[in-house]
Structure 1
Amino acid sequence: MARRLLVPLLLIVTLCGGTAVAAPAQAAPAPPTPAQDPFYRPPDPLPPGAPGEILRQRRVEVFAEPLRVLPAPVRAWQLLYRSTSATGQPNAVSGTLLVPPVPWTEGPRPLVTYAVGTHGIGDQCAPSYRLRTGTENEIALIAQALLKGWAVVLTDYEGLGTPGTHTYTAGRSAGHAMLDAARAAQRLGAAGLSADGPVGVFGYSQGGQAAAFAAELQPGYAPDLRLVGAAPGGVPADLAEVARFNDGGPAFGLVAGAALGLATAYPEVPFEEILNDRGRRLMDRIREACVIELGAAAPFTRLNDLVTLPDPLEHPRWRATLAENRAGGQRPSAPVLLYHAAFDELIPYATGRKLLARYCELGSTVQWKTIPLAEHITGVAVGGPIAMEWLGARFAGEPARNSC
């Protein structure tokens, strides 16, 4: 608890140059939830345009603590921008751009496109909303980037905040959303970012999958971005492998959420028609769940308890979909840092090592970091700051090490 209170305080004091700031007399009014906020509803149909084009923007205040009595001293914008679904269809995604007030004098200000770990499936779980309510649990890592003078843009992912079900664990959709968030940030004139400024990619867990796909997709999808490095951590690089690892385990709800997210992203896969009554009840429960409720929704359940097929992971359409969302199929052109907790209880350590091997086979420049004696959450608590330092070296133009 002390650390959670200290980080926001350091953020506020440091970004203000050490100057004391008087707190408002009372908390700011609570913002409406995304479901009640017209900002999140995109034009229908979407107007013609290019990925990364801003559809809507507004200045907002963000908070580092849930009492919401002292706004974080950063310039913040909510963005609604064009992106691309997993199947190549245009869509609209929401996000937040944060720019520290301290000047940057060493060329264009660096930009980190940041993908959060699992927040849930309900719209109220979106990081753009949680930043405004002071409940964003990754604020400590976000603050580390801001304290270095970098701008940070956070995507909400497809369907998280905006209408529709969140396409949880759809790697291509998430990678597109990260890259287009960076494009949108650079196109917002008021933010003062340069179109040729250096861009770094950061994400852990679900965000690690998004970051890996962003690095892989960037050469073909967003060559206009000057991507200098990507730091995916705790990557669920093989969803079939991760599903079997967690089948019957305490966090099986995450597997159910992944099935819902992938079925939303790929409507052709059999889903509703293969659920039994128990499966349908579970999906109804998790559609609006945030991460704690999602993870605890069905402890020790097995996938076969929810469906009418003997092994849906072996269905041809599901196999093809899972293969499409297997990271390591394309060579990132920018250097990559992969890190993984040695005792990760959710995403097997071996899954991360296999991703390293695939990148090495593709000829990537990739550095590997094991976080020793760590489980999943400790992995990002220790590895996240390491990843931020690694990105700092890439922004400074230093050559990356290669573990291949």
Structure 2
Amino acid sequence: MRLRSLFTAAALGAALAVPVTAPHALAAPPGCGAGDAEIYAAPPAAVTGDPGDLLACRPVKLTNIPGDVPMKAWKVRYVSTDAKGAKNVVTGTIAIPDADWTKGGSRPTVAFNPGTLGSGPQCAFSKQLAGQYVDMYEGANLTLFLKAGFAVAATDGVGYLDGQVHTYMIGANAGHALLDVVRASRQIPGGTLAADGEVGISGYSEGGAAALWGAQLAASYAPELDVVGAAAGGVPGDLKLTAEQLNGGFFAGFLADALVGLNAAYPEMPFTELMNDQGAQAIKDVRANCLFGTLAVFLGARVENFSKDKLSLEQLYALTGPGGVTWGEIVDRQKLGVDIGPASSGAKYEIGFPVFQYRGWLEEIIPHETEDGTRQAYCAAGVNTTWKNTYPTEHLSTDWGAAGDVTNFLGDRFDGKPVQGDC
């Protein structure tokens, strides 16, 4: 089935994304008895604590991870850092297999960022894994990690607390949240993850961009974490190229998510005052819908139709905010593969471990130019990079088609096997 057909059926059917009754939580160990309301509560006016500090946790049964892998799992609420350097609060999920880790050393952890799920708080990955909403597609990917014996620390990303909207595609927000969920995973009362456990990073699409941001920020932001590899697929490394392709197309909903996410991260910049009535409704629609609903609502939408002055993407990029910064400059800050280098290179973002990047041969959502370009930037910078673009799959199906390779790549890094890359 073509991905276009898959998304069309899902978006127009709308029956795939319905709230369901939450399963009963498992008995909470001492010190880990928060309710859902506490996990997802709006953040306080002033966030205290260090990045990665565990604020609250709740044992949970992950009904949307198939395969009946015996495990213990928790929802978590933790401290992170936003793109401006301020402390914020993020939620996520920790899952640890019951089976003993027998390969020597401490059990490794995969830091995981999901692909796009939607921007409203109801869309949070932690809620979907627990069966509180059904609009996700990566539970089986986590099954592979857990069956291999790896723990999983999956961030929801920034903006899934009550009253918030997801800061979609904001690189530093995503990278910080991904690294901090690993820190939080080691503080769970009754948990078994040790501080010296190796870390692998993984994500696809939006999650692929987050994975590479986590890889780029690891050495400077979380140097105590022993990150040994990162796998990132379907990566929208250049948001301007991606936006140009999305505008007016079948997947314009992703562009709507990105514009509202930029506004959430940079509310001081001109945005809501630019909107006409259709634009004001679009902001509400982004907040109200998850993945398939957003794609349906914004099918074929063009950004020019949402502002009073019919502003194009290029005209929006030229708008200035406080200090003369433009929207275009802020969007360019999210570009991957800039100012990178290997360990001890002196680059702003040093990556001292191997990276696996991949895309499907039939990719139709993210421009090939930006996915290939991100890989080329990593190679040109001297980062140990393995590349695969021969999956006979489109965007969504590549996530599933590459899952075995991702698990094996990270498993080889945990086993200490060398990889030379293929630049």
| TM-score, scaled to structure 2 | 0.83
Partner deviation per Cα, 1:69-125 (whole Å, 9 max, x = no partner): x98631011111100112111001011100010001221101001100001011111
Structure 2: unaligned runs, 5 residues or longer: 1-20, 26-33, 321-325, 342-350
Consecutive unaligned residues of structure 1, counting only runs of 5 or more, are 1-26
CA contact (8 A) 2:107 2:151 kept: yes
RMSD across aligned positions (CA): 2.2
Contact 1:52 1:81 in 2 (8 A): yes
- For the 8 Å contact 2:35–2:58, the answer to whether it is kept is no
Counterpart-to-counterpart distance in 2, 1:182 and 1:163: 25
* Structure 1 counterpart of 2:334, one-letter code: N
1:231 maps to 231
8 Å CA contact 1:30, 1:133 repeated in 2: no
Deviation string 1:22-64 (CA, Å, 9 cap, x unpaired) is xxxxx97568xx9972321156244532100101112222213
Note the 1:178-327 alignment, pairs <5 A. 178-307=178-307, 308=309, 309-310=311-312, 311-315=315-319, 317-327=326-336
What amino acid sits opposite 1:77 in the alignment? W
Deviation per residue, 1:360-384 (Å, 9 max, x gap): 2222111111134321012112112
Please, which moves more after superposition, 213-222 or 153-162?
Answer: 153-162
In the TM superposition, what is the alpha-carbon distance from 1:206 to its structure 2 partner?
A: 0.6
Paired residue secondary structure (1:401): coil
Any conservation in 2 of the 1:238–1:351 contact (CA below 8 Å)?
yes
What one-letter code is carried by the residue in structure 2 that aligns with 1:147? K
- 1:45–1:71 distance in 2 versus 1, CA, 3 Å: farther
Alignment correspondent of 1:348:
367
Amino acid at match of 1:192: T
Q: Which residue of 1 aligns with 2:407?
A: 388
Change (3 A) 1:133 1:72: farther
Distance 1:346 1:109 in 2: 36
> Are the equivalent residues in 1 in contact too, given 2:47–2:87 (CA < 8 A)?
no
Secondary structure in 2 aligned to 1:190? coil
Equivalent of 1:79 in 50, 53, 76? 76
> Residues 29 and 191 from structure 1, CA distance in 2 versus in 1: closer, same or farther, beyond 3 angstroms?
closer
CA distance in 2, matches of 1:57, 1:65: 19
User: 1:197, 1:151 → 2: CA distance?
Assistant: 10
Q: Deviations over 1:264-286 (max 9, x none)?
A: 11123221122222111111112
> 2:174 corresponds to which residue?
174
Asked if 1:336 is matched to 2:334, the reply is no
| Alignment-derived partner of residue 345 in structure 2 | none
The alignment partner of 1:107 has SS state of: coil
Tell me the secondary structure at the aligned position of residue 145 of structure 1.
Answer: helix
Distance 1:400 1:379 in 2: 23
Task: After superposition, give the CA deviation of every residue in 1:194-232 in whole Å (9 maximum; x if it has no partner).
Answer: 111100000000100100100001111111100000001
> What percentage of aligned pairs have identical amino acids?
36
CA contact (8 A) 1:42 1:80 kept: no
C-alpha separation between the residues in 1 aligned to 2:36 and 2:62? 18
Match of 1:373 among 374, 392, 409: 392
- Structure 1 length normalisation: TM-score? 0.87
Aligned counterparts, 1:118-157, within 5 A: 118-133=116-131, 135=134, 136-157=136-157
Question: Could you tell me which amino acid in structure 1 is paired with residue 73 of structure 2?
Answer: A
